């Protein structure tokens, strides 16, 4: 080592003593093939940094590869055996493009400094003969710059992590909200409907066959659609097939399809619902009305998950989920030989029973308000229903279940004239050959052939007559019962020639 370098390291030793109290955990890497220089630099910087020294470019690459997050600065000699400093620089930057590297050379006269700075863009360049304060200051600046970059990257990483976590949480909440939305049309808060909804949520988590049981009008198709929308198949087709009162040939074609010319009138090929809903869900409504021969065909398809369209020699593999529904007593049909026992066990893996409306009357007020809001376009003025009308509805048995209640509310909204409230006189029932309006004692009927205007007038007249009887001719009570003023009542009494 030259006398200049020896003098240089004498100064280094002085610097070490002055910096013993400022120890840091930040590491720097010194790459130089001169052992004396490595010792001197290590002694000089060890008071301030953790110093790692290597004697070749290859070893420098190995160190950075293993310690890329802990090296804060590299002091790199240029003229070395094997990989020179320039080649080493390029490889180091491939490992970590942001690592600050300081070229430290004893042969500055041989280099074009401008070309080095332009082509390599190092953090700095120093001649080994320069003052040591320059080197220390440059390393200190490089370490501080590295800290800023690392802290910035950490903030970015933490921000990205937080955003990722928030995105997952938003996805979870959206999924939860979607699930609630997908069941939002199943209205009610009774124990029976809550139990049925809980079972549906559980069923939606798998492809298990579901059998929905309940009377006509309880909402089996709506529930089947909700199960599908809440399942992994939600983005796939949902097909409905009613199995009641359809000839076997037509039902076979509807379910499994047919080829052109398979029968008279088959002018083109037709895909059945099993093929149309591949990877989706099929809802087989009124499955208890299916003939034995069709039950046999369906059973085979469910067992093999393949179909053969009518008139075709080829089978088609399908992947569908089956949700069935019936208002029949399948167990009794099995005993009577009208429903295949093996098919019964195939579809009845996860039975869910929907309670009739008469067993969940606490849900009637909720359903009424839901229908008023849903069918607002029928009569935008209507947004309420009187307590008296609700009491009348609560006293009804609803053989048609929710469908019947919906129809009653829709008709009532159409009949409301100069008011925003559904009253008892608007509650027309359509469960018999005659239309009727129900009070808590009897049903007042009107001829079905009458026009709507005449029907309403007759209903209004009969309601006034009944109210007069109920109130023993007390006009004030009659007016209050009917929600009329005394003046309005007198006008109607005169119009209908009623003596009260």
pLDDT at 166: 82
Q: pLDDT by residue (tens digit) across 386-427?
A: 999 999 999 888 988 999 999 999 989 988 888 899 999 888
Query: Which pLDDT value is given to residue 2?
Result: 44
Per-residue pLDDT at 23 = 44
Residue 384 scores a pLDDT above 90: yes
pLDDT of residue 441: 45
Nearest to 253 by CA among 244, 245, 241: 241
In the chain, CATH 3.40.50.2300 covers: 3-152
Q: Is the pLDDT of residue 140 over 80?
A: yes
What confidence score (pLDDT) does residue 59 get?
A: 92
pLDDT above 70 coverage of the chain, percent = 87
**Packing angle, helices 132-182 and 35-45, rounded to 10:** 70
Tokens of 339: 């429903």
CA dihedral 413, 419, 422, 424 (to 10 degrees): -120
Q: Looking at the domain 453-500, which fold is it?
A: Arc Repressor Mutant, subunit A (1.10.10)
Domain with CATH 3.40.50.300 in the chain: 191-355
Cβ neighbours of residue 166 closer than 8 Å, sequence gap 6 or more: none
Considering the domain delimited by 358-449, tell me its CATH architecture.
Answer: Orthogonal Bundle (1.10)
Q: How far, in whole angstroms, is CA 141 from its chain's centroid?
A: 51
Domain with CATH 1.10.8.60 in the chain: 358-449
Asked if pLDDT for residue 18 goes beyond 90, the answer is no
Q: Mean pLDDT in the chain? A: 84
Q: Answer yes or no: is pLDDT of 53 > 90.
A: yes
Please give the helix or strand (H or E) that residue 51 lies within, else none: strand 50-54
Topology of domain 3-152 in CATH is Rossmann fold (3.40.50)
Question: 241, 285 in Cβ contact below 8 A?
Answer: yes
Structure tokens at 374: 């849903």
Mean pLDDT value across residues 365-390: 92
d(CA 217, CA 201): 21
CATH for 191-355 is 3.40.50.300
Q: Give the tens place of pLDDT for each residue, 180-236.
A: 555 666 788 899 999 998 999 899 989 999 999 999 989 999 999 999 998 999 989
For the segment 82-91, what is each residue's pLDDT rounded down to a tens digit? 889 899 999 9
- pLDDT per residue as tens digits for the range 283-295: 999 999 999 999 9
Res 268 pLDDT > 80: yes
The phi, psi pair for 228, rounded to 5°, reads -60, -50
Q: Radius of gyration of the chain from Cα atoms?
A: 43
Q: How confident is the model at residue 450 (pLDDT cuts 50, 70, 90)?
A: low
Rounded to 5 degrees, what are φ and ψ at 29? -115, 125
């Amino acid at each position: 080592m030259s006398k200049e370098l020896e003098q240089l390291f004498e100064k280094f030793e002085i610097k070490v003593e002055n910096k013993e109290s400022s120890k840091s955990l930040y590491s720097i890497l010194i790459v130089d093939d001169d052992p004396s220089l490595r010792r001197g630099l290590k002694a000089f910087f060890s008071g301030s940094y953790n110093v790692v020294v290597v004697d070749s470019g290859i070893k420098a690459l190995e160190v950075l590869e293993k310690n890329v997050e802990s090296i804060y600065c590299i002091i790199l000699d240029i003229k070395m055996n094997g990989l020179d400093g320039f080649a080493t620089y390029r490889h180091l930057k491939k490992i970590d493009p942001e690592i600050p590297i300081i070229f430290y050379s004893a042969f500055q006269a041989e280099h074009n400094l401008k070309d080095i700075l332009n082509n390599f863009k190092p953090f700095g360049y120093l001649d080994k003969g320069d003052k040591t304060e320059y080197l220390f200051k440059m390393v200190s600046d490089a370490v501080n710059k590295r800290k800023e970059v690392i802290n910035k990257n950490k903030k970015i990483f933490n921000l990205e992590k937080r955003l990722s976590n928030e995105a997952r949480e938003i996805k979870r909440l959206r999924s939860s909200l979607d699930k609630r939305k997908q069941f939002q049309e199943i209205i009610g808060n009774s124990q029976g409907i809550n139990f049925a909804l809980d079972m549906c949520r559980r069923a939606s988590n798998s492809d298990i066959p579901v059998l929905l049981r309940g009377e006509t009008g309880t909402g089996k198709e709506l529930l089947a659609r909700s199960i599908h929308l809440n399942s992994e198949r939600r983005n796939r087709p949902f097909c409905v097939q009613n199995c009641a009162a359809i000839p076997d040939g037509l039902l076979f074609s509807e379910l499994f399809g047919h080829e052109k010319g398979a029968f008279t009138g088959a002018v083109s090929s037709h895909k059945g619902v099993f093929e149309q809903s591949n990877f989706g869900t099929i809802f087989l409504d009124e499955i208890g009305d299916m003939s034995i021969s069709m039950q046999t065909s369906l059973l085979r398809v469910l067992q093999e998950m393949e179909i053969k369209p009518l008139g075709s020699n080829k089978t088609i593999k399908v992947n569908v989920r089956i949700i069935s529904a019936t208002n029949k007593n399948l167990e009794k049909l099995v005993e009577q030989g009208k429903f295949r026992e093996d098919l019964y066990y195939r579809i009845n893996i996860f039975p869910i029973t929907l309670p009739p409306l008469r067993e969940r009357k606490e849900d009637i007020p909720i359903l009424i308000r839901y229908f008023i809001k849903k069918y607002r376009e029928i009569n935008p003025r209507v947004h309420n229903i009187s307590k008296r009308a609700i009491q009348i509805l609560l006293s009804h048995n609803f053989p048609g279940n929710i469908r019947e209640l919906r129809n009653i509310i829709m008709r009532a909204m159409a009949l409301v004239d100069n008011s925003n409230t559904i009253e008892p006189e608007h509650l027309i029932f359509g469960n018999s050959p005659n239309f009727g309006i129900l009070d808590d004692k009897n049903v007042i009927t009107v001829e079905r052939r009458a026009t709507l205007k005449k029907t309403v007038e007759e209903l209004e007249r009969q309601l006034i007559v009944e109210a007069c009887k109920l109130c023993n001719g007390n006009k004030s009570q009659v007016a209050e019962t009917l929600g009329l003023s005394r003046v309005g009542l007198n006008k109607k009494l005169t119009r209908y020639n009623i003596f009260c």
